Amino acid sequence: MRAVGIARVCAAIAGAISLAAPARAEDTIKIGVILPISGGAAYVGQGIGDGVRLAVDQINAVGGIKGRKLEILLRDEMLRPDASVAAAKELITKDGVKFIIGPATSATSLAVSELAKTEHIVNISPSAKTEAITGSKLHEYIFQLAPTTDVDGVRSVGVLNKIGAKSVCFTGFDYAYTQDWFKAIKANMGAIQNAGEFLVPLNTTDYSTVIGQLIASSCDTVVGTMYGGGFIAFVKQAAPFGLFKTKKLLWGANTGDYAVAKALGPDFPEGVWAAASDIWYYEGSDAHAKYQAALAQLQGRKETDMWPITGYNAVNFLAAAIEKAGSDDPKAVRDALEGLTIDSPLGPLTVDAKTHRANSPEFYGQVNSVAGSPVKRMSPYELVK
């Protein structure tokens, strides 16, 4: 009985290994994409993935790169660094992937970047903002497209000065992005006073205490970083206490995005200052209009979210670099990426040859009700480069 069972298991394992062994050999350029697909950040993975798909479709529609089509291999990062590394190893060693886009969050990005370093794989981080990725952990093969927290800090202080903040209190999830961004703001805010920092653990569900502390604080402006579901919960818990009536708010973590505004609908607090890497209603350029039209078709709605542009730019950088290098050798592509400029939907974008950063532009603005739209938008807004 047991022997039969064991034999069955052996057969299953053998089958599994043979299934997992390399099988495909078409001449495509494979791009490994590692994003959060399950869990609370799944909407981010969905968005970045849409941008990647759009760019790949467009490139393949005109015949690919020198006749070779692009192929996406998507894996779930599960918001777990070790799972991200395992997925990346699989992509590299089983599928022969030489380019990886993602993951989305700072912890998973750092983990995969470490692997890219040893495996000599080009790794483009589309959306993570942590300094460490191209700061203390910089290596030859990692490139970071999103503006880092240092850049965000300078841009945010610009907003603080514009809205006349005299005294600021800080709140947010206790994690690297929050700490880095706050440090950058504090370093640049000059005469603006720091009225205190009130952090909560990552993924907290109850914000009552910190809301009470913010209301009691003497600050006139609250700078915060809760994102996604955390921001939604914070806002709904803070509104009845009147936090938004007494304080001005500047929110990081891409709160100007459509996805969050749509979920909150009328509950989105009026007048919050926020940022987003893209807004569908920007009408500043033809390139953006063209991009939005294509994206709207892919997503099946006119009101697209901000995440796709990060994946879109990542693929276009990669494609341009492969084109320029004339091969898909990771070392040649990496050299080509340094100092490379592409025409992004928001204008020319350059990866700095030394820092490996593109510091993509972002929209900054005040979220307000707009006539005829149930979803609030940034109005006014400006594109900050």
Partner 1 sequence: MLANPIVLFIQVMNALSLGMSLFVIAAGLTLIFGVLRIVNFAHGAFYMVGAYLAYTVVQTFGDTNLGFFLGVAGAGLGMGLIAFLIERFLLTRLYDKDPMLQLLLTFALVMILRDAVRMVWGSDQHSISTPPALSGAVNLGLTYYPTYMLFLLVLGPIVAFALWFGIERTRWGRIARAARLDREMLSALGVDVNLVYAAVFVVGSMLAAIGGALAAPRSAVDPGMDALVIIDCFIIVVIGGLGSLIGSFVGALILGFLTIFGSFYLQEWVIVASYAMMVFILILRPWGLFGQSDEVRH
Partner 2 sequence: MTSRPQLIFLLAVFAVLAVVPFLGARYPVELATQVMIFSLFALSLNVLAGQTGNLSFGHAAFLSIGGYACAYFLTRLGWPLAVSMAGAVIMSAAAALIIGALCVRLNAIYFSMLTLAFSMLVWAVATKWRSITGGDDGFVGVDVPIYLTNPYSFFWFTLAVCALSVVALWILSASAMGHALVAIRENPTRASFLGMNVKRMRLAAFVIAGAFAGLAGCLLAMYVRGMYPQTAFWTQSGQVIIMVLLGGIHSFIGPIIGAAVLYLLEVITEQYTEYWSFVMGLILLAIVMAFPEGLVGIFSKLRAPRRS
Residue 70 binding partner 2, by CB under 8 A: no
Both structure tokens of 125: 């981080």
Residue 52 binding partner 2, by CB under 8 A: no
Residue 206 binding partner 2, by CB under 8 A: no
Closer Cβ to partner 2, 198 or 291, answer by number = 198
Closer Cβ to partner 1, 259 or 279, answer by number = 259
| The one among 42, 73, 298, 332 contacting partner 1 by CB under 8 A | 42
Q: Is omega for the bond preceding 103 within 30 degrees of 0, making it cis?
A: yes
Q: Residue by residue, what is the 3-state secondary structure of the chain?
A: CHHHHHHHHHHHHHHHHHHHCCCCCCCCEEEEEEECCCCCCHHHHHHHHHHHHHHHHHHHHCCCECCECEEEEEEECCCCHHHHHHHHHHHHHHHCCCEEECCCCHHHHHHHHHHHHHHCCEEEECCCCCHHHCCCCCCCCEEECCCCHHHHHHHHHHHHHHCCCCEEEEEEECCHHHHHHHHHHHHHCCCCEEEEEEEECCCCCCCHHHHHHHHHCCCCEEEECCCHHHHHHHHHHHHHHCHHHHCEEEECCCCCCHHHHHHHHHHCCCCEEEEECCCCCCCCCHHHHHHHHHHHHHHCCCCCCCCHHHHHHHHHHHHHHHHHHCCCCHHHHHHHHCCCEEEECCEEEECCCCCCECCCCEEEEEEECCCCCCCCEEEEEEEEC
Closer Cβ to partner 1, 73 or 199, answer by number = 199
Is the C-alpha dihedral spanning 58, 63, 65, 70 positive or negative?
positive
**Measured from the CB of residue 3, what is the shortest distance to partner 2 in angstroms?**
6
Residue 229 binds which entry of partner 1, partner 2, none, CB below 5-8 Å type-dependent: partner 1
**Measured from the CB of residue 81, what is the shortest distance to partner 2 in angstroms?**
4
Contact positions with partner 1 (CB under 8 A) in 241-300: 241-242, 259-260, 262-267
The window from 130-138, 281-289, 301-309, 359-367 that contacts partner 2 (CB under 8 A) reads: 130-138
Contact positions with partner 1 (CB under 8 A) in 336-365: none
Residue 205 binds which entry of partner 2, partner 1, none, CB below 5-8 Å type-dependent: partner 1
Residue 12 binding partner 2, by CB under 8 A: yes
Contact by Cβ (8 Å): 307, 127: yes
Nearest CA among 159, 193, 200 for reference residue 178: 200
Name the β-bridge partners of 275: 364
Query: What is the Cα 102 distance to its own chain's centre?
Result: 9
Place of tokens 């914000």: 207
| The one among 40, 63, 66, 93 contacting partner 2 by CB under 8 A | 93
| The one among 29, 54, 132, 165 contacting partner 2 by CB under 8 A | 132
How many C-beta atoms surround the C-beta of residue 96 within 10 A? 12
The window from 106-114, 125-133, 229-237, 346-354 that contacts partner 1 (CB under 8 A) reads: 229-237
Residue 148 binds which entry of partner 1, partner 2, none, CB below 5-8 Å type-dependent: none
| The one among 8, 38, 290, 302 contacting partner 1 by CB under 8 A | 38
Residue 198 binds which entry of partner 1, partner 2, none, CB below 5-8 Å type-dependent: partner 1
The window from 8-16, 213-221, 247-255, 367-375 that contacts partner 2 (CB under 8 A) reads: 8-16
Residue 383 binding partner 1, by CB under 8 A: no
**Measured from the CB of residue 73, what is the shortest distance to partner 2 in angstroms?**
8
Contact positions with partner 1 (CB under 8 A) in 190-209: 198-201, 203, 205-206, 208-209
Binding site for partner 1 (CB under 8 A): 37-43, 45-46, 174, 198-201, 203, 205-206, 208-210, 212-213, 216, 228-230, 232-233, 236-237, 240-242, 259-260, 262-267
Binding site for partner 2 (CB under 8 A): 2-3, 5-6, 9-10, 12-13, 16-17, 19-22, 37-38, 74-76, 79-82, 85-87, 89-90, 93-94, 106-107, 110-111, 114-115, 118, 130, 132, 137, 174-176, 201-202
